Structure 1
Amino acid sequence: MPHRLHLEQFGPVHALPILHYRMEFAHLVRQAIDRVKPDCIAIELPDTIEEQFIRGVRRLPEISVVWYDLKGNGGTQTAYLLIEPADPLVEGARLALERQIPLQLIDLDVEQYPEHHDLLPDSYAVHRIGLAPYYLQYCCATATTTPSTIDRRREAGMAWRLQQLAKNHERILLLCGMSHLERLRTEFSLPQTQPLTRSRRSGVNIANLHPDSCREILGEFPFISSIYELRRSKLPPEPAAEEGSLRKRYKMLELINGGKTEVSEESILRRALERTALHVGAEGEMPDRQRIQLRLFQETAKHYKQETGEPVHIWQKRTFFRFARNYAALSGRLLPDLFQLLASARGCVDDNFAFAFCRLATFYPWQREDSELPNIRLSPEDVWGGSRLIRFRPRQQRLGKGLSPLQFLKRKREKHPGDWLKGFDNASICSFPPEDLAIEDYGRFLKKKGAKQLSEEQWRVEPLTSSLLDGIDMRETLRNIHEGKIYVKEQQRVKGGVGSVVVIFDHDRDGTRFPYMMTWLGEHDQESDMAFYATPPADNVAGPGICRCEYGGFMLSYPPMRMHDVWRDPDYAFARGKHELLLLAALDYTIDPHVVYVAPRPPRSIFRQIAARMGKKIVFMPLGSLSPVKLKAIRVLHILYGHDKREIAKEYIW
């Protein structure tokens, strides 16, 4: 890896060219101070805000905002200065205070500074090639740019103040923007006069940034700022592997003992931060932004699985990073920003994953609403002059008009740990009717699809002799056009329909992931009898007397009220797994000659022989041939302990 630090020296001044609000340059400030060991640090900020700026730096890692009004020909505008950990100027001031190095703010206080946006390379390039070639390319690209009058005035004023500091200090570390350094170096070599500028400004205020605003307006999005803050000091120890979930979970013994204390969401997200901080570079090295984004994706995938029960597949991960890379390249960046990451997450996985990604990426653990300073809420338009909007539509319940747009993202929670355990006093269990409707509809869909597949298998094609049969087969005719013959097709009749349906998500060969086995009967003539194996209900309590499970596999058989407990039937004792037992039960209980079997792999050949002896046939469909979105929607079921829970279940099941 190339040496990344580069300093421009003129006289006693060692200048570090920086980009504002970029983590890589904040780390270079630390390296520069360790190398130069300065007896004075000068930063590109006006001294009229020094008192409040220093106060905000001392509050870190809590983020503050310094703000004051600017007056000009266009009216009054408000200037905001964010004091956040990953800003190089803030890092320089913070280290000066920690190491008791004199700090000087040398910029001029000017009114109505014009807005302009420099076309700068992605700061991640510094991590790969170092600062020297990065700065050289920037100088070459901006050599013909004409600076504004205000910039020339500021540079002359900063040069004069550096000349004054040079009289009393031997090693001065200057932190200033790349766009000013070369001209500032030229001005320093020339005699300068004291600038005519404002020496005092009234109405400079400081406030605590509200936690909600902290998620949106930081220069580096909060996850990166948090990683940088954690790595400023000694790295934390590796968090324990066993930890709470973002979804409330109980074990069976905890149900008996009255529950456990809930692990807060904040502590879970903080552990994710600590794990990431340990794996984005060795201690003392510059954090690798690319590794941070990879770890952010991995931690999000973990929480997404806890929330939805579905893993993020390797093809989704590959598509996410390829899409994000291409999206970043379109905007001239090496790595995507937060908006591009969220758009990639929503497009390549789903809205639930994008929301989980946003929740973790915008988590900043040190910001609190209760502070000794007044709180201030800011929008991106206030600070940066604009924003980009992205919408999430998770699979959640929608609320009516006039309600908070964020309310539907909040699942109903316990008021006190263990409150939900009071609803398990009813010995009977039942299902959640909307889920019954969904799975019955999907069962009918699979029957139609199976019947269509059988029909397609019964097509017979032959050359035209005396009859067109069911019509000309154009595909076969064109394929054999060299023979000069016309081929016709005949659809032979399929005897009987499709009866039972078996869907296998996971074979669970070791029997540990889906140990809960149940057979329950349809409540009316529109429902099928059902046998399934799933995750234990006690492992995931979703509400009072409401448990959330995930199917490993299930079997539907119609008409209802006929099925015995298939899991204790001795006739199926020779089955090698739960999936084979369900297939045997489907063949046994179907009243139609065909059974649809959906699974990752086809059944063993012996089952086709068993079906043939019973006068039946197995119609196999690969699980991968069906819509993964629809399969994900039907894979979750909720078990209610008592029919009375159906009235309140909709408040806890989203």
Structure 2
Amino acid sequence: MSEFLQISPRITVLPVIHGSGDFAVEVRRLMLSREFDCLAVPLPASFQADVERAVGHLPGITLVLQEELPNYRVSDWSPESEQRDDGGDERTYSYVPIDPCQPVIAALRFALQERMPRAFIDLEVEQYQPLGAVLPDPYALKEVSSETFAAAVLPMIPRLPAGQPLERAVVMARRLRDLEERYQSILFVCSLTDWPWIREAYTERHEPSLGDSVVEDTALYRPDPNTLVFLLGELPYITGLYERARSQLDDDENLSIDGVKEMLLATRERYEAELKSRARKITPHLLSTCLKYIRNLSLVERRLTPDLYTLIVAARQIAGDQFAIHLAETARDYPEMEWLPYPEIKMGIGRGELPDGEVAGLKSRLPGHPVVWRSCQLNRRPPKIDQQQWAMRWNPFRQCSWPPEDIAIERFRTHVKDHALSILGNDLALTEKFSTSLKDGLDIRETLRNWHTGDLYVKVFPPNRGSLDCVLMLFDSPADPREYPWRITWHAEPHDESTLSFFATSFQEELVGPGIALASYGGAMFLFPPKPIRDVWRDARFDFADTLEERLLAAACYHSNERHIALLSDAPPGAGWRRLAKKYGKKLIHVPFARFSQETVQQLRMFHVLNGQEVRSYAEHFIRKA
């Protein structure tokens, strides 16, 4: 390390950004590469015992709280002031987060393991005044040294305001002088915004005008696992990756970026495990697109690495609400979380709920980038208790569909029918030698076949390609009857809907709102124009069918008035299905799923069941897609 960060031959300063995993790695690298006989940190001595005890619990996350003394004011009495006093002032605490990605904590952890003397040199104050600052992204340390990083930021660091912040810098400079008399090589890890003024106070030999105040004792707490995102500098999942790399001696140099990729892969596993066949296909190409979008959003925010909001917005735009929700849940998971015998506190932004239920103000002694609330609307999953209540109120004799989904599936049915008609037309097309007109287009294959003659051949489609009144869609074939227990025939409501017979997953297992349930098609038969038919699943004429698909196919062949039936499926129909169609005098036109967007098909498979037509008035507030 160059002399730029040395304020004396015996004192080396490492300016850091609190809460940065990249700076925590830089601290470890420096302490491994050089010999120091003392570590100084910008924390008061009253925190030392509990902080060092908490560091011993790592990778378990804790925090050390110190209650601040109330600020008593002497003023004249008035009715308004009495009302304010009756309301009571909110209790406030300052705290030290025991976070593995905090550079100060990483330095203390290393010093404790190496039995290096530690000095807590900050000023004891009754009420701590935190100073936040917007600083460059620490990921730049991958390309520049810590000296270059500090030198580049130096011109933009504002001077500390007069009062407690400046006085704390003077006190720390004075105590560094005292340490210098006892140790030969001291490492001082402090905030990037403080080090120029500590250096100035040290160089100009400023003497402090304030002494240590009488403060409350500190106490150890464990955070609520669901609120770790408000405590840790990095995302909890990324912090867990740093700890895993540390325990397994893996490389953690680029975890601030590689961890995002691993988090997306873990999210995909959780997403597919929960939604199963209803989940979108999260392909490598889709993840690549998502990462590019994350990069672009990060650059718009003038960052090199993404924050949680950027990740959620990108995931929602690329893969949908449900993937974004799973990403948020994955990001807040800390795999190394351990239960510790301390009171639990729920964290928030600048506030926390104490074990007794009281809400108190919180101030971090190691403040990083300012954290603010940003809104992103996502349709969340309902709690289990709500689902149980909705299930108890469900009326089994009142069921209807949601009109927007009806319109979407009917448009898709029309699209499939048009594809089938085009395939039918191609099968019936004739080829003749070109004379005076191109007719229905040049027949390239036949022209090339007769290239040696020099003649051109054109296609001629017959004037009538026939018609289709039945479309059969098999989304999952072969279908497991245990996965699709719900089988029913629905008749059309408006005139532009089809008569629909289908087998699907049980909607009772997926209640998403009051009177709103979700199911997935396994297969469906559409008859248009609609006509009244007996329930396919109770019609004894089709009891000879062995599978769900065969029963739908037999019903389609029986009820269709046209000679051809459109069959949408992954694989073409086998000989058995063709014989079944021939038995009814029908012919199957296979339309492969590959002709359509898999994302579109996956979304169309999911449909909602409403417990009465009045539910349609508010259903859109609860309906969510994968």
Same fold (TM over 0.5): yes
1:560 counterpart residue number: 531
Structure with more contact order per residue of length (Cα contacts < 8 Å, sep ≥ 6): 2
Counterpart residue identity of residue 562, structure 1: I
Correspondence 1:147-546 to 2 at 5 A = 161-169=175-183, 172-176=186-190, 194-195=205-206, 199=210, 220-224=233-237, 228=239, 282=247, 288-289=255-256, 292-301=259-268, 304-305=271-272, 306=274, 309-315=278-284, 318-320=287-289, 323=292, 327=296, 336-338=306-308, 341-342=311-312, 344-358=314-328, 360-361=330-331, 366-367=346-347, 369-371=352-354, 374-375=360-361, 409=379, 418-424=388-394, 426-434=395-403, 435-465=405-435, 467-468=436-437, 470=439, 473=442, 485-522=455-492, 526-543=496-513, 546=516
Residues 1:477 and 1:201: Cα distance change in structure 2 (over 3 Å): farther
1:89 counterpart residue number: 104
Counterpart residue identity of residue 189, structure 2: L
For residue 566 of structure 2, the aligned residue among 596, 604, 619 is: 596
| CA distance in 2 between partners of 1:649 and 1:105 (Å) | 57
Kept in 1, the 8 Å contact 2:381–2:512? The answer is no
Residues 1:592 and 1:65: Cα distance change in structure 2 (over 3 Å): farther
Output one character per residue of 1:552-604: Cα deviation in whole Å (capped at 9) or x when no partner.
221122433214434764646354x4334322322222111221111121111
1:265 counterpart residue number: none
Q: Shift of residue 618 of structure 1?
A: 1.6
Q: Shift of residue 535 of structure 1?
A: 1.7
Q: Structure 2: 5+ residue runs without aligned partners?
A: 55-60, 69-93, 161-165, 216-220, 335-344
Q: Shift of residue 490 of structure 1?
A: 1.7
| CA distance in 1 between partners of 2:48 and 2:578 (Å) | 78
Bigger shift: 280-289 or 512-521?
A: 280-289
| CA distance in 2 between partners of 1:505 and 1:24 (Å) | 47
Residues 1:278 and 1:444: Cα distance change in structure 2 (over 3 Å): farther
1:22 counterpart residue number: 20
- The alignment partner of 1:591 has SS state of coil
Output one character per residue of 1:365-390: Cα deviation in whole Å (capped at 9) or x when no partner.
94154346644799xxx985899989
Q: Shift of residue 44 of structure 1?
A: 5.2
1:623 has 2:593 as partner? yes
Residues 1:21 and 1:358: Cα distance change in structure 2 (over 3 Å): same
Q: Could you state the TM-score of these two structures normalised by the residue count of structure 2? A: 0.65
| CA distance in 2 between partners of 1:199 and 1:475 (Å) | 93
Residues 1:620 and 1:83: Cα distance change in structure 2 (over 3 Å): farther
Kept in 1, the 8 Å contact 2:38–2:119? The answer is yes
1:254 counterpart residue number: none
Q: Shift of residue 498 of structure 1?
A: 1.0
Counterpart residue identity of residue 88, structure 1: P
2:86 counterpart residue number: none
2:544 counterpart residue number: 573
| CA distance in 2 between partners of 1:177 and 1:91 (Å) | 14
Residues 1:337 and 1:437: Cα distance change in structure 2 (over 3 Å): closer
Kept in 1, the 8 Å contact 2:36–2:186? The answer is yes
Output one character per residue of 1:23-53: Cα deviation in whole Å (capped at 9) or x when no partner.
24436768988999988531357x7xx8799
| CA distance in 2 between partners of 1:62 and 1:25 (Å) | 22
Kept in 2, the 8 Å contact 1:471–1:488? The answer is yes
Counterpart residue identity of residue 105, structure 1: D
| CA distance in 1 between partners of 2:290 and 2:158 (Å) | 42
Counterpart residue identity of residue 43, structure 1: V
Counterpart residue identity of residue 442, structure 1: F
Q: Shift of residue 18 of structure 1?
A: 4.4
Residues 1:142 and 1:19: Cα distance change in structure 2 (over 3 Å): closer
Q: Shift of residue 165 of structure 1?
A: 0.3
| CA distance in 1 between partners of 2:363 and 2:190 (Å) | 29
Residues 1:350 and 1:456: Cα distance change in structure 2 (over 3 Å): farther
Kept in 2, the 8 Å contact 1:158–1:184? The answer is yes
Counterpart residue identity of residue 297, structure 1: L
Q: Shift of residue 175 of structure 1?
A: 1.6
2:605 counterpart residue number: 635
Counterpart residue identity of residue 401, structure 2: F
| CA distance in 2 between partners of 1:350 and 1:502 (Å) | 28
| CA distance in 2 between partners of 1:648 and 1:178 (Å) | 52
| CA distance in 2 between partners of 1:277 and 1:512 (Å) | 43
Counterpart residue identity of residue 603, structure 1: P
Residues 1:11 and 1:597: Cα distance change in structure 2 (over 3 Å): same
For residue 103 of structure 1, the aligned residue among 107, 120, 138 is: 120
| CA distance in 2 between partners of 1:62 and 1:527 (Å) | 64
Alignment length, in residue pairs?
Answer: 548
- The alignment partner of 2:562 has SS state of coil
Residues 1:61 and 1:151: Cα distance change in structure 2 (over 3 Å): same
Bigger shift: 146-155 or 539-548?
A: 146-155
For residue 42 of structure 1, the aligned residue among 20, 40, 43 is: 40
Identity %: 21
Kept in 2, the 8 Å contact 1:41–1:102? The answer is yes
Residues 1:522 and 1:174: Cα distance change in structure 2 (over 3 Å): same
| CA distance in 2 between partners of 1:317 and 1:169 (Å) | 56
Counterpart residue identity of residue 247, structure 2: A
| CA distance in 1 between partners of 2:423 and 2:607 (Å) | 29
| CA distance in 2 between partners of 1:614 and 1:289 (Å) | 64
Kept in 2, the 8 Å contact 1:414–1:420? The answer is no
Residues 1:646 and 1:446: Cα distance change in structure 2 (over 3 Å): same
Residues 1:417 and 1:591: Cα distance change in structure 2 (over 3 Å): closer
- The alignment partner of 2:607 has SS state of strand
Kept in 2, the 8 Å contact 1:461–1:473? The answer is no
| CA distance in 1 between partners of 2:474 and 2:516 (Å) | 24
Output one character per residue of 1:461-504: Cα deviation in whole Å (capped at 9) or x when no partner.
43223x42636639679978886544433221344311211112
Bigger shift: 339-348 or 50-59?
A: 50-59
